[in-house]
Structure 1
């Protein structure tokens, strides 16, 4: 069906049609133009469309059309993966149903007390929007009956799969009446989602909306290669020079949201954090502040920003790259929604540039490389902005008293007006110089055209402790030394096949017949499925979570003749002299040592490998990653 029609031709009741018209919508989006007639006819729907295409109205309007507001029973159920998306869907449904007298919408999600939700259900809510966990609680309590549910919608089904709700969804759907109309909407269709559709949907109409190139062009995608400046400085510069209404900045860990938000606030930006450690009330308040314009920069993690729809968001900045291409699509979908334009920017270290190809393929778009404003351009921007501010002050303020003060100063101090103005300007620009220092030149490795990693490691130190936010799960891989496997094989296969930054791979311990490896605790289920299928040395990994613990490697203890210990930065400095033979000098990571002339001292590897003189005693793969190769949970 073409979307050249208008809403009046879709067969919607007058109450819904007038509400949609009053909201300013005239022409349906493709997903709406196809889904609404099918659902009004009573068909099940399998909808496949990217985020921001108008899916809420596509299922909400026809489902509301079948509700009888005179019955105080739940007739429509919508399942959403996150609290934020549930709230957003419920708000949209209330707006659609504004002209339907007596219709109530209740939202059920965790993080809020049960009492208000129980009261709403007792009063009789015809529409229930819920997250899976809290919905199951109400079903078990008996506070929500599903006997009268006429239409059930799974919204963002692929995201519910990624968040581990698959079994919960199946349990809920098993409790629905046989005649319930089903609508499943998802941006992608992995095999698990298709199996749910085959099991619970009856002869569904498959509505698939291909990526609209015109829609894609609404989001301009750009990338900056991290070099010269660290990412925090780059964020400051963009926050100051970009022409944005509101910006959402995606980071990897909860701690990073707080640190970056606090840092930007100290510089005068209106920033706030949004993460899973915040209470639901705090999160709702933060989003409300963003809507109202009291916050302009939101620093968020992936999960809490799912489904966030704030018209003010004109820019999305990927400070840390996401774990997979689908997460990237969800991230940049926070801007350019409903026909609006937007810009998505990502920061990519040199080793991460290959991931841009996956993002381009997933979005059917092009990512352009960009440069940051130079120090000179930043100075010009500040000068122009200050000039406008001063001109507005002159035009809108009575300055007679100030002019008298200046005249007095000129006479008493024997200064010119220009000198006083220059002095005031100098005082004003101290925190943000009008002539910033020139940018440092990127450092290059000798005889190579690649960026040196030192700047990146320095930038990481600037962002705080590395271990504090890390949560790993240990996985057992069915390959080991006897199969010819090396650590580099493990790292390369996981990083390439899963498009996973090698910095997100924790400790690795090779055994004879298997390997233990630490991977991020909150990896999506779909990623874990891919992990099982990876082959190394022609053997499938058959990866499974395990309770086995990767033990720390023992440290050498030295005495005066062969093992004097010089501690690392955190442990102080002590121990023998190099000339005594075995002085041990620990570096930051506790893994480097140096021996002297006459003993058994050795220079250790970064990953605690065997001594230089006895490398054969420890297998090559028996190494641990550097401490800064870790991952913080969201």
Structure 2
């Protein structure tokens, strides 16, 4: 069933297997049955036996293939629950994924006496230190915070038996390559290592060759980077008409639950608020939202109390809710990988899903990039017309009457209306229309066509029709320049700066502007109004082991400051 680690070799996936056939620990098998899983996915069927046999594993699979259970189940089956030492460490690129993986370990280890602890940037050290002191057999963490705990000697990896690198390509893309190697070098030589990645770039291959011993390679073949059970469509719409377009879609498109992706944390709140004002059940989720509130919001989404979630990429990473039938890209992502991750939130557990994309005329190049990477052509759809929306509103109005006819209390209100008809000599139809109008509270019932868009010519330059437009750096008034105490002499790259600040501060890549790396420091454009909470999180952020000392840039004088 398994093969050696060569580029062309893959593990053949056995068919008709159940979890009971995989020789996993009985307590873990019971927990798997409790959550309703019967048969393993291809990557689970190949990875679990290899890890139970003690082999190192390289798993090549896209997100949503069930790889978390593929490594959590064998580790829990072999862990020594009598020992309080840290025996398993899982490294994940983001806080969201770390929380998801820790939750999965707790779920599959529900019938074992095992302590699972997530440690990540942006949260207080105190509870994490207390959890480590009590003894956590499984630690799931982001690279920066794991290194912090190693330096504080609050995390002891001397008894480590199992190490997992989850979404390794994402970790390296975020600038954690040196942090990952530093952690690997500080672990015992004889341990079992599993590495999971969607791709195998040279940097991942280097880590594999250096730190894994004769690993089994498990590859889940995929013809495209997106699932076949997700239909993908795009709608061309002007930026200032997006809210009108979203409202029309929500009224006409049949959906069970939907995630609407936007680029910024501020946009999550704005879009959610506008949707609630229009009568939709919507809530925002972003990196600034407290974990307890996030959990309540997701629980509401799961049990049907909430239908629409407005989210950023980071906040939605690891979100797995089966009833999500639609994903809408309100703002198109700047990289195809983010698009793949976003639409992977629908079409879960074998169900079909729908991915929709709003695109402005200037963003056609981003659509082309997505189609090249996913090797799928997105189908252009037309926005529902005013007539489509009004027809749907009329149909819903008629349905609401049918429902109300059978509702408790109907007889009481019928008598009241009959009395009004007698006393005022008004027809039943007029009374019903008056009550319907009253229920609208002044809001228009039928949608009207918006005024046609007026094309505005720039006053400061004549119109041009000869040759391509000149490229200009976009001036963003929402950003300010900050200085950090790492530069060329620390061998930092822009990716490492973005990765560390985004992960520790709960920011997204779209929150970053221009980055300039000098000899002994760097400047980076970030949101001008960083919250006090975000600044507090960034106080202990390190890049290449160096505290960044984030502060507003004060120009040439600031460059002469020492740290």
How much has 1:145 moved relative to structure 2?
0.7
> Residue by residue, what CA displacement relative to the aligned partner does 1:158-183 show, whole Å, maximum 9, x if unpaired?
22223322222222111111112111
| CA–CA separation in structure 1 for the residues paired with 2:199 and 2:135 | 35
User: Who is 1:8 aligned against?
Assistant: 20
CA contact (8 A) 2:386 2:449 kept: yes
Q: Which of 100, 109, 132 pairs up with 2:143? A: 132
> Residue by residue, what CA displacement relative to the aligned partner does 1:574-629 show, whole Å, maximum 9, x if unpaired?
xxxxxxxxxxxxxxxxxxxxxxxxxxxxxxxxxxxxxxxxxxxxxxxxxxxxxxxx
Q: Which of 268, 274, 289 pairs up with 1:257? A: 268
Q: 1:116 to 1:521 in 2, by over 3 A?
A: closer
The reply on whether 1:232 has 2:243 as its aligned counterpart is yes
Q: 1:206 to 1:354 in 2, by over 3 A?
A: same
RMSD: 3.2
Q: TM-score, normalised by structure 1?
A: 0.68
Report SS of the residue matched to 2:383. Answer: coil
| CA–CA separation in structure 1 for the residues paired with 2:454 and 2:280 | 30
CA contact (8 A) 2:237 2:358 kept: yes
Q: Which of 84, 98, 118 pairs up with 1:107? A: 118
Q: 1:469 to 1:245 in 2, by over 3 A?
A: farther
The reply on whether 1:49 has 2:49 as its aligned counterpart is no
How much has 1:55 moved relative to structure 2?
0.5
Q: 1:65 to 1:209 in 2, by over 3 A?
A: same
CA contact (8 A) 1:380 1:434 kept: no
User: Who is 1:170 aligned against?
Assistant: 181
Q: TM-score, normalised by structure 2?
A: 0.76
Q: Which of 143, 146, 152 pairs up with 1:141? A: 152
CA contact (8 A) 1:374 1:439 kept: no
| CA–CA separation in structure 2 for the residues paired with 1:88 and 1:375 | 42
User: Who is 2:208 aligned against?
Assistant: 197
CA contact (8 A) 2:41 2:66 kept: yes
Q: Which runs of 5+ in 1 are unaligned?
A: 447-451, 453-465, 475-502, 509-517, 523-546, 551-634
How much has 1:406 moved relative to structure 2?
1.5
CA contact (8 A) 2:57 2:193 kept: yes
| CA–CA separation in structure 2 for the residues paired with 1:431 and 1:82 | 46
CA contact (8 A) 2:511 2:526 kept: no
CA contact (8 A) 1:254 1:276 kept: yes
How much has 1:439 moved relative to structure 2?
5.2
The reply on whether 1:438 has 2:438 as its aligned counterpart is no
Structure 1 segment 397-436 matched on structure 2, within 5 A: 397-429=408-440, 433-436=444-447
Q: Which of 318, 339, 342 pairs up with 2:329? A: 318
Report SS of the residue matched to 2:325. Answer: strand
| CA–CA separation in structure 2 for the residues paired with 1:520 and 1:345 | 31
Q: Which of 172, 180, 183 pairs up with 2:191? A: 180
Q: Which of 278, 287, 291 pairs up with 2:302? A: 291
Q: Which of 375, 379, 382 pairs up with 2:390? A: 379
| CA–CA separation in structure 2 for the residues paired with 1:471 and 1:349 | 27
Q: Which of 107, 110, 114 pairs up with 1:98? A: 110
CA contact (8 A) 2:329 2:356 kept: yes
> Residue by residue, what CA displacement relative to the aligned partner does 1:388-441 show, whole Å, maximum 9, x if unpaired?
222222202222332232223223332111111122223334666443213556
Q: 1:30 to 1:432 in 2, by over 3 A?
A: farther
Q: 1:291 to 1:281 in 2, by over 3 A?
A: same
| CA–CA separation in structure 2 for the residues paired with 1:130 and 1:328 | 25
User: Who is 1:18 aligned against?
Assistant: 30
Worse-matched range after superposition: 283-292 or 140-149: 283-292
Q: Which of 196, 219, 230 pairs up with 1:208? A: 219
CA contact (8 A) 2:224 2:374 kept: no
> Residue by residue, what CA displacement relative to the aligned partner does 1:192-236 show, whole Å, maximum 9, x if unpaired?
222222222222222221226698221111100115981111112
User: Who is 1:278 aligned against?
Assistant: 289
CA contact (8 A) 2:514 2:525 kept: no
Structure 1 segment 25-36 matched on structure 2, within 5 A: 25-36=37-48
How much has 1:59 moved relative to structure 2?
1.0
| CA–CA separation in structure 1 for the residues paired with 2:294 and 2:202 | 33
Report SS of the residue matched to 2:54. Answer: coil
The reply on whether 1:221 has 2:232 as its aligned counterpart is yes
Q: Which of 76, 96, 114 pairs up with 1:84? A: 96
How much has 1:473 moved relative to structure 2?
9.0
Q: Which runs of 5+ in 2 are unaligned?
A: 1-11, 458-462, 464-474, 484-509, 516-522, 528-552, 557-563
| CA–CA separation in structure 2 for the residues paired with 1:125 and 1:434 | 58
Aligned residues: 471
| CA–CA separation in structure 2 for the residues paired with 1:114 and 1:308 | 25
Q: 1:98 to 1:27 in 2, by over 3 A?
A: same
How much has 1:549 moved relative to structure 2?
7.7
CA contact (8 A) 1:211 1:364 kept: no
Report SS of the residue matched to 2:84. Answer: coil
How much has 1:15 moved relative to structure 2?
2.5
Report SS of the residue matched to 1:269. Answer: coil
| CA–CA separation in structure 1 for the residues paired with 2:442 and 2:328 | 25
Between structure 1 and structure 2, the one with the greater Rg is 1
Task: Indicate the structure whose relative CO is greater, using CA pairs within 8 Å and at least 6 residues apart.
Answer: 2
User: Who is 2:131 aligned against?
Assistant: 120
CA contact (8 A) 1:77 1:127 kept: yes
CA contact (8 A) 2:260 2:327 kept: yes
The reply on whether 1:469 has 2:499 as its aligned counterpart is no
CA contact (8 A) 1:76 1:150 kept: yes
| CA–CA separation in structure 2 for the residues paired with 1:42 and 1:241 | 53
User: Who is 1:541 aligned against?
Assistant: none
Structure 1 segment 352-367 matched on structure 2, within 5 A: 352-367=363-378
Structure 1 segment 594-609 matched on structure 2, within 5 A: none
Report SS of the residue matched to 2:429. Answer: helix
Q: 1:507 to 1:27 in 2, by over 3 A?
A: closer
CA contact (8 A) 1:20 1:96 kept: yes
